[in-house]
Chain A
Amino acid sequence: MSQTENQRFITRLIFFIVLAAGFILILPRLQTIITVIVISILMFTLLDPFVDKLERFKIPRALSALMIILVILLLIALGVSRVVPLVENAAQQISQSFGVENTLNDRIQSGIDFLNSKLPVSAITTDIPEKINELTESLKQKLPGFLMGAGKGLINAFSGFFFVLFITFFFLKDERAIKKGIIRLVPNKHFEMSLNIMDKIQRQLSSYLQGLFLAATSVGITSIIGLFLVNTLFDAGINYIFLIGIWAGFANLIPYVGPTAGAIPAVLSVLISQPPNTLFIVILVIGVFVSVQFLDNNLVSPYLVGKSVELHPLIVFIVLIIGGNLMGLLGMMFAVPVAGIIKVTFGEIITNAPKYRA
């Protein structure tokens, strides 16, 4: 390398180091806005085909986008008005079953006494009820702060969600102008390649996300049907089937962990209501969720989601950890779709870019 080339290389290196350092420093401050934009892009990709379908009926695009956003708001309002009382009831029932300290202590104490009477030596310490009392006291002290934090979190989530809807509306309405704006920045040399790759990515992502969404809906609906059948045929007394179904559908977005997490509330509901044949009903409920997963893995997902965006289990595991660390449960739910987007983007670039080499 000549001296000028060396200087140019060093200048570029310094520029990239400064840029990377700046990005790393700024990133934590931009986390909220990046999250909002990523979720908006996911929603846009999911909803765009619906807006296109409405346009087929000669409804202007802006009005179509507005109608879709209003339908989502209406569904959320309906969902909240139905789900909140259900959650409230469920919480009350759970607290009635487990929350009364004395009953809980009595149950635990009788269990310990039973075990100690059967075992040759007194193997289990008897200070567990005291520990529970201490824990309850500390929880009572921390509860107001926790509730305040939860309330603040809920307000943040709601305002964030409205931001997402607002941005999604403009993405849907001005899709073409935004695409043209981005393409205008691309130099002539890479213009056709960028346009081609962008189109392919958009088409693949749209079908992938719609597939994920439909698969989650199918898991929710089949869980509700399965639990309803168990309830009707065996008088299982499982409560909040609708709520459990919605949860199972959402949880299904998290691979590996999701199916188990989806089944837990149903099993808990059986344990709380304690029907006469509890063990049999628990086995049936587990059977329902295993069947739902079998249907999803073998019939629904391969057909709807397709194999093109299939991710290696190790990658899924890593992205789940990253998503969970960044945004908790929500991060885990969005981790796989976002990883899918990244895979499709790089896949299309790697496949198509070499075709444009002179």
Chain B
Amino acid sequence: MTSALWRSMNRKEKTREETMMEALGNVNIFRNLSHKELKVVLNLVYERMYKKGDYIFKQGYPGNGMYIILKGTVQIIQENVEGDTKKEKDLATLHSGDFLGEISLLDEAPRSASAYCTELTEVLGFFRGDLLDLLNRKPELGSKIVLNIARILGERLRITNQLLAELQEKQQKEAES
């Protein structure tokens, strides 16, 4: 193991900005952006820190934008009301590098689930107002991001259609047998 004294000399530690740039670059809606363009996006994002037990957003809140997890763990929970009882369902556990809520960049539809921090979590938030602002100020960059969101939505729609077709086929087979 390298001693702490030599480690800092051999390998340059990542700066906070580099860490954030890397996190942004890994998000599919910012894919194919140049370093300069990523820096513009970096100026638009908000850094937030949440304690264990804090909600990043709650189910039913108006969607306002997306979050990229820099550090920590986020649990996605869906609350369903069945009769008089509320039931919580864990949908996913997200870690550093994951992102959530990107569809809210397009409309203000209520969040379909809550995001709950299970440990100290650092996130970057990118919001619809800033995307609209970007489309106005730097249309080229804004269009690239919107096109990426459209690609993701198209992909998801294709998967949903495929799943639906499979389900219909399965139901038909069951009905026949």
User: Which residues in B have their C-beta under 8 angstroms from that of A55?
Assistant: 137-138
In the complex, which residue of chain A has the Cβ closest to the Cβ of B128?
A199
- Take A52-B136, A55-B137 as given contacts and tell me if A192 and B64 are in contact as well, using a CB distance cutoff of 8 Å: yes
> Main secondary structure on chain A at its contact with chain B?
helix
Q: Number of contacts between A and B (CB, 8 Å)?
A: 44
User: Which residues in A have their C-beta under 8 angstroms from that of B54?
Assistant: 188
User: Which residues in B have their C-beta under 8 angstroms from that of A356?
Assistant: 61-62
Output the least CB separation between A65 and chain B (Å): 13
By the criterion of a CB under 8 Å from any partner CB, how many residues of chain B are at the interface?
22
- Take A52-B136, A55-B137, A56-B139 as given contacts and tell me if A188 and B48 are in contact as well, using a CB distance cutoff of 8 Å: yes
Distance, CA A356 to CA B61, complexed state (A): 5
Please tell me if the beta carbons of B138 and A56 are within 8 angstroms of each other in the complex: yes
Distance, CA A176 to CA B41, complexed state (A): 12
B58 beta carbon closer than 8 Å to chain A: yes
A312 beta carbon closer than 8 Å to chain B: no
Please tell me if the beta carbons of A180 and B137 are within 8 angstroms of each other in the complex: no
User: Which residues in B have their C-beta under 8 angstroms from that of A176?
Assistant: 43-44
Please tell me if the beta carbons of A195 and B139 are within 8 angstroms of each other in the complex: no
Please tell me if the beta carbons of A192 and B61 are within 8 angstroms of each other in the complex: yes
> Main secondary structure on chain B at its contact with chain A?
mixed
User: Which residues in A have their C-beta under 8 angstroms from that of B56?
Assistant: 188
Output the least CB separation between B56 and chain A (Å): 8
Distance, CA A191 to CA B61, complexed state (A): 12
In the complex, which residue of chain A has the Cβ closest to the Cβ of B58?
A358
Q: Which residues of chain B from 124 to 142 have any CB-CB distance to chain A below 8 Å in the complex?
A: 125, 127-129, 133, 136-139
Please tell me if the beta carbons of A195 and B129 are within 8 angstroms of each other in the complex: yes
User: Which residues in B have their C-beta under 8 angstroms from that of A199?
Assistant: 127-129
- Take A52-B136, A52-B137, A55-B138 as given contacts and tell me if A191 and B48 are in contact as well, using a CB distance cutoff of 8 Å: yes
Distance, CA A62 to CA B170, complexed state (A): 62
User: Which residues in A have their C-beta under 8 angstroms from that of B136?
Assistant: 52, 56
Please tell me if the beta carbons of B50 and A188 are within 8 angstroms of each other in the complex: yes
Chain B window 6-46, contacts with chain A (Cβ cutoff 8 Å), 1 for yes, 0 for no: 00000000000000000000000000000000000001101
A183 beta carbon closer than 8 Å to chain B: yes
Chain A window 169-210, contacts with chain B (Cβ cutoff 8 Å), 1 for yes, 0 for no: 000000010001001000010011001101100010000000
A352 beta carbon closer than 8 Å to chain B: yes
A142 beta carbon closer than 8 Å to chain B: no
Output the least CB separation between B80 and chain A (Å): 16
Select the residue from A52, A55, A196, A203 with max chain B CB neighbours within 10 A: A196
Which residues of B are interface residues toward A (Cβ below 8 A)?
43-44, 46, 48, 50, 54, 56-58, 61-62, 64-65, 125, 127-129, 133, 136-139
**Seed contacts A176-B44, A180-B46, A355-B62; 14 additional CB < 8 Å A-B pairs:** A52-B137, A56-B136, A176-B43, A183-B46, A188-B54, A191-B48, A192-B65, A195-B46, A195-B64, A196-B62, A196-B127, A199-B128, A355-B61, A356-B61
Which residues of A are interface residues toward B (Cβ below 8 A)?
52, 55-56, 176, 180, 183, 188, 191-192, 195-196, 198-199, 203, 352, 355-356, 358
